[in-house]
Amino acid sequence: MSDFPRWRYWVVALAMVLGLLYAAPNIYRPQPAVQISPNRDAKVDATLQKQVATDLDKAKVPFQSITIDKDRMLVRFANTQVQLQGSDTLRLALGDDYTVALNLATTVPHWLLAIGAHAMPLGLDLQGGVHFLLAVDENAVLKKQQQRYLDDIRSTLRQKQIPFDSVSLSGDGVQAVFKTSDDRDKAVSAIDQGTTDLAFTNSRTPGGGYALLANIKPAVLQKLAQGTITQNVTTLRNRVNALGVAEPLIQQQGESRIVVELPGVQDTAAAKRALGAVATLEYHADDPNVNPQEAAQTGNVPPDDRLYYMKDGTPVVLKKRVIVSGDELEDASAGYDQQTGMPDVNVTLNSAGAARMLDFTTQNVGKRMGVVYIETMPEVKVVDGKEVHTTKTTETVINNAVIQGVFGKKFQTTGLTQQEAQNLSLMLRSGSLAAPMDIVEQNVIGPSLGQDNIRKGDRAIVLGLALVLLAAAIYYRLFGIVADIALVFNLLLLVAVMSLVGVTLTMPGIAGIILALGMAIDANVLICERIREELRNGSTPLASIRTGYEKSFSVIVDAHVTHLIAAVALMTVGAGAIKGFGVTLAIGIIISLFTSLTMTHAITALIHGGRRKKLKTLWV
Amino acid sequence: MEIFRHDLNINFLGMRKVSIVISAICLIVSVWAIAIRGLNYGLDFTGGVLVQVSYERPVDIGEARSALMKAGFEHAMVQSVGGTREISIRLQLPKNRDKKESPDKLAGAISKEVLSALQVGHPGAKLAQAPDFVGPEVGAQLKQSGIYAVIVVIIGIMIYLGMRFEKRFAVAALASEIHDTVITLGVIALVQREFDMTVLASILAVVGYSINDKVVVFDRVRELFRLTRKARTPDILNRAINNTLSRTIITSSFTAIAMASLYLFGGPAVHGFAITMLIGILVGTLSSIFFASPLLMWLGVSKKDLMPVTRENPELARRP
């Protein structure tokens, strides 16, 4: 057919091949596995591989393979039953040096992974696991910041010797009252030098005083709120990583909520404890008279000192006395050194902490000072059949730097890479400023239900699709079969795009796929009906095909665009299930436009246009 | 193969008085059902209590569910957790409960009732962990986001149709859309089907589906108005409905086949979705034949309304 440009055939063919390739990984079901990752200085190597194999053999747990992937090890099992036994065995055998977690290993062939083709991750409703929704109490952080500005203003006024009647909290800001307007003006310029975060308003008090209201600027408040969420997300990520969950989802939802989804985790209580851990910070002096390596080997530590470890396993010996603790830390942010341009972390202490820090640094320039990050996690252990509630405390040194000069309120930690600076500032903040979080929603989804859902959903979709394909083929004959091919590729392309983008497949998502396929069917029905109409009106077969496509173009586009508007609205406004539905529908609609208009036209043109002889009838 | 004769010419517009009266009755009953009986909101919207129970012997989920039904806990969501001896139950707060009680106390009291209901068949059943209260505030947030979504969907579609067709088409489409949605919701309220997130998702799908049907008929109306020199509006509308009737029925039945398969074999998780879609498809199909076009006529659509657009926009004129 001359009116169908050749390049479009290539586009259609390319889309079909890519669709097949990128949808393919989804037929490879992931295999139950156990993931072993090292803690501290433990190593994943051939020795461990041998040990794991003997441990499993001893416990008579059959495994399929043990592979090392970078710094973690995967042990694959035939089914989930054996997988559970295996993880229990290994957890006992390997102890605290390794984190043993249930995982699903991909069985997708390497050549597919090499071209970036992945299987769609399955949602919690399909895979099982726990879902938490946490509400972050931003007000607590705001109150803390407000208090900080109050302390700042008071000490600034004292330092500059500006007389004032009172300084107190008021609404979202701080109110200071002066005897004269002159004092007030002086105060404004003095405070403004220290910080640019505040906006000032003047007023008179009923008692005749001159009041100054310093409010935190909205932009600063917004930054503060966003920072609070980001920081809580990071804290949660660290804690979830400690749980060893395979593919956790931790993301912000709305303004002040965080969603945590842990696939495969069944023990809500354990997960909840991990998420609800409390973190604090302590600054300790380093003891230069002790060799930490030696102390770690012999266990000989002076009575005033304690042996700590850094995250990479390096031992550090610190004095027991605390210089400054986390609640005295006001702010920590990563930035760049003004002079050298190197990454650094800026720390601000409150006045009490600043006084002690000044005291300490005056006497200890050139020595080291360590920051200990302490996390307390409630734990339940079963001892002699009884539940015993204990707490598990992990203490890690996150930084041990040389004191370069005397400092008090504000100081910088330098000599870090940009990544290290980011991490340190986040850890400092999560140990001091983290906003309290409440779990407002939790769901446990059993994997049995998940598997059942998948099986039933798969069966229902395959059956529904088969019935519709059959009906279309019977009713529209050759054109029905062409429409069927397009419909199948519509599904393939949809799955391929979802896999590429990384959309998580959920039950509402499956519903979205079905609706998108319905739209594609409708488009094909519209085209076929139009062609029939044209034939009845006496047009030649070729002309009927051409006018059929032309005349149904506008209605198909209109219908698809209206649906797309709906889908995009659901995607952007809706939450959770509604959103998932919207995303799938939107992708499906765009693909349906392509398969219904371009793909079927290409196939039809190929069938009917190639023949030299004139077409007498159309099989529609 | 054809099911419908192509020269079919049923005078649908002639029945407009009857059809509109039927529509009006359905609307009134639906609004009554939604207002008086109310939607039976599911756990997603109301919040509730999560109770986890462990057994000494393996337990059948269906058995636990019927035990709870007997004790008056309807719509309890029972799921197995991990193995076969532990189940999790999520249920709504009974309506007669004093809402002022502290959530923990309430959760404790309900979990006791649940446990005693389950212990009838399995004396060894015990709480696996302290019951948790799932706050309703999240439900309120989700509900609001759903309502916002519907409003945004309606406005977006209105603007698009106003641009592509004419404002009266947009109004008629919107009215039919509301008509379809309200009646679908009305049926759900009438049979007191649980209204959860999947039903909400399918309501949104019904809105899209219903508008799709109207777009197809209206597109034909637009085309016929532009093609025909002299014709009375009712005749044009009738021809448009008859010309697209075959497509309307075929598409509806194809979609209905898929939904029926989902309903019958998709498992309980998609029941709500499938049944709501089926109702929506039926209502949407009927309303595009019997409701939308009479409405278009009463709004006074005529050939003139559609012609100026084509002069202003030569691109549109080339399209059918």
Contact B267 A529 (CB under 8 A): no
CATH code of the domain in which B216 resides? 1.20.1640.10
Taking CA–CA distances from A476, the nearest residue in chain B reads B1
pLDDT digits 0-9 by tens, B149-189: 878 888 888 899 899 888 899 999 989 989 999 999 999 99
pLDDT digits 0-9 by tens, A277-336: 777 788 899 988 888 888 888 888 888 888 888 877 788 999 888 888 877 887 788 888
Residue A71 to residue A88: CA distance in whole angstroms? 21
**In a domain? residue B303:** yes
Contact A442 B220 (CB under 8 A): no
* Predicted structure pTM score: 0.69
Beta-carbon count within 10 A of A541 CB: 18
The A residues from 569 to 598 touching B (CB cutoff 8 Å) are: 569-570, 572-578, 581, 585
Residue ranges per domain, chain A?
6-25+448-609, 31-105, 139-221, 277-433
Contact A581 B205 (CB under 8 A): yes
Residue A507 φ/ψ, nearest 5 degrees:
-60, -50
Residue A491: predicted pLDDT:
92
pLDDT digits 0-9 by tens, B137-146: 445 666 677 7
Residue A231: predicted pLDDT:
78
Residue at which a domain ends, from B88, B109, B134: B134
Taking CA–CA distances from B84, the nearest residue in chain A reads A448
**In a domain? residue B306:** yes
pLDDT digits 0-9 by tens, A406-440: 888 888 888 778 877 877 787 777 766 667 777 77
B289 and B154 share a domain?
Answer: yes
Classify domain A31-105 at the CATH class level.
alpha beta
Overall number of domains in chain B: 2
In the sheet that A65-69 helps form, which strands lie side by side, from edge to edge?
A65-69, A72-76, A31-38, A98-105
CATH code of the domain in which B85 resides? 3.30.70.3400
A615 touches A22 (CB < 8 A) = no
CA dihedral A431, A434, A439, A444 (to 10 degrees): -50
Q: Is A429 on the interface with B (CB under 8 A)?
A: no
Taking CA–CA distances from B128, the nearest residue in chain A reads A269
In the sheet that B48-54 helps form, which strands lie side by side, from edge to edge?
B77-80, B86-92, B48-54, B126-134
Confidence check: pLDDT of A587 > 80 = yes
Mean pLDDT of A546-551: 91
pLDDT digits 0-9 by tens, B231-287: 888 899 999 999 999 899 999 998 898 889 888 988 777 788 889 999 999 999 999
DSSP code at position A305: E
Paired tokens of A104? 């699903």
Contact B82 A569 (CB under 8 A): no
Classify domain A6-25+448-609 at the CATH superfamily level: Multidrug efflux transporter AcrB transmembrane domain (1.20.1640.10)
Taking CA–CA distances from A533, the nearest residue in chain B reads B6
Contact B265 A456 (CB under 8 A): yes
Mean pLDDT of A108-126: 83
**In a domain? residue B5:** no
Mutate to test the interface with A, among B196, B197, B202, B242 (most CBs of A within 10 A): B197
Residue A414: predicted pLDDT:
80
pLDDT digits 0-9 by tens, B291-308: 999 999 899 887 777 765
Confidence check: pLDDT of A248 > 80 = no
**In a domain? residue B197:** yes
**In a domain? residue B166:** yes
Contact A457 B270 (CB under 8 A): yes
Residue A610: predicted pLDDT:
59
Query: Secondary structure of B77-121 in the HEC alphabet?
Result: EEEECCCCCEEEEEEECCCCCCCCCCHHHHHHHHHHHHHHHHHCC
Taking CA–CA distances from A581, the nearest residue in chain B reads B201
B210 and B303 share a domain?
Answer: yes
3-class DSSP assignment, residue A203: strand
User: When comparing pLDDT for B309 and A240, which is higher?
Assistant: A240
3-class DSSP assignment, residue B116: helix
Mean pLDDT of A10-28: 91
Mean pLDDT of A365-373: 88
Fold for A277-433, please state it: Gyrase A; domain 2 (3.30.1360)
Mean pLDDT of B59-72: 79
Mean pLDDT of A342-360: 86
Contact B208 A477 (CB under 8 A): no
Paired tokens of A199? 């906006």
Residue A419 to residue A425: CA distance in whole angstroms? 10
Fold for A139-221, please state it: Gyrase A; domain 2 (3.30.1360)
Residue B176 to residue B181: CA distance in whole angstroms? 8
Q: What domain range is B232 assigned to? A: 13-41+139-318
Confidence check: pLDDT of B310 > 50 = no
State whether ipTM is beyond 0.85.
no
Q: What is the residue type of B43?
A: L
Mean pLDDT of A460-477: 89
Residue at which a domain ends, from B134, B153, B175: B134
B195 and B278 share a domain?
Answer: yes
Which of A6-10, A280-284, B204-208 bottoms out in mean pLDDT, i.e. has the lowest? B204-208
User: When comparing pLDDT for A615 and A106, which is higher?
Assistant: A106
A123 to chain B, minimum CA–CA distance in Å?
Answer: 14
B166 touches B10 (CB < 8 A) = no
B192 and B262 share a domain?
Answer: yes
Rg (CA), chain A: 33
Residue A490 to residue B266: CA distance in whole angstroms? 21
Burial tier of A478 (Cβ tally within 10 Å: 0-12, 13-18, 19+):
middle
B249 to chain A, minimum CA–CA distance in Å?
Answer: 10
**In a domain? residue B218:** yes
Q: Please report which confidence band the pLDDT of residue B98 belongs to, taking 50, 70 and 90 as the band edges.
A: low
Residue A316 to residue A309: CA distance in whole angstroms? 6
Query: Secondary structure of A236-291 in the HEC alphabet?
Result: HHHHHHHHCCCCCEEEEECCCEEEEEEECCCCHHHHHHHHCCEEEEEEEEECCCCC
B216 and B297 share a domain?
Answer: yes
Residue A1: predicted pLDDT:
46
B188 and B295 share a domain?
Answer: yes
Which among B120, B63, B64 is positioned nearest to B88, based on CA atoms? B64
Identical fold between A139-221 and A277-433: yes
B78 and B107 share a domain?
Answer: yes
Query: What are the beta bridge partners of residue A413?
Result: A345
Residue B140: predicted pLDDT:
61
B312 and B241 share a domain?
Answer: yes
Query: What is the overall mean pLDDT for chain B?
Result: 81
Which one of B141, B212, B273 has the shortest CB-CB distance to A511?
B273
Residue at which a domain ends, from B134, B156, B190: B134
Confidence check: pLDDT of B62 > 50 = yes
Residues in B closer than 8 angstroms to A526, CB to CB, are 216, 247
Rg (CA), chain B: 25
User: When comparing pLDDT for B121 and B249, which is higher?
Assistant: B249
Contact A518 B258 (CB under 8 A): yes
Query: What is the overall mean pLDDT for chain A?
Result: 82
Residues with Cβ within 8 Å of residue A313, at least 6 apart in sequence: A40, A41
A343 touches A379 (CB < 8 A) = no
Q: Please report which confidence band the pLDDT of residue A550 belongs to, taking 50, 70 and 90 as the band edges.
A: very high
B33 and B52 share a domain?
Answer: no
**In a domain? residue B8:** no
Confidence check: pLDDT of A393 > 80 = no
Q: Please report which confidence band the pLDDT of residue A243 belongs to, taking 50, 70 and 90 as the band edges.
A: low
Residue A492 φ/ψ, nearest 5 degrees:
-60, -50
pLDDT digits 0-9 by tens, A262-287: 876 656 666 777 777 777 788 899 98
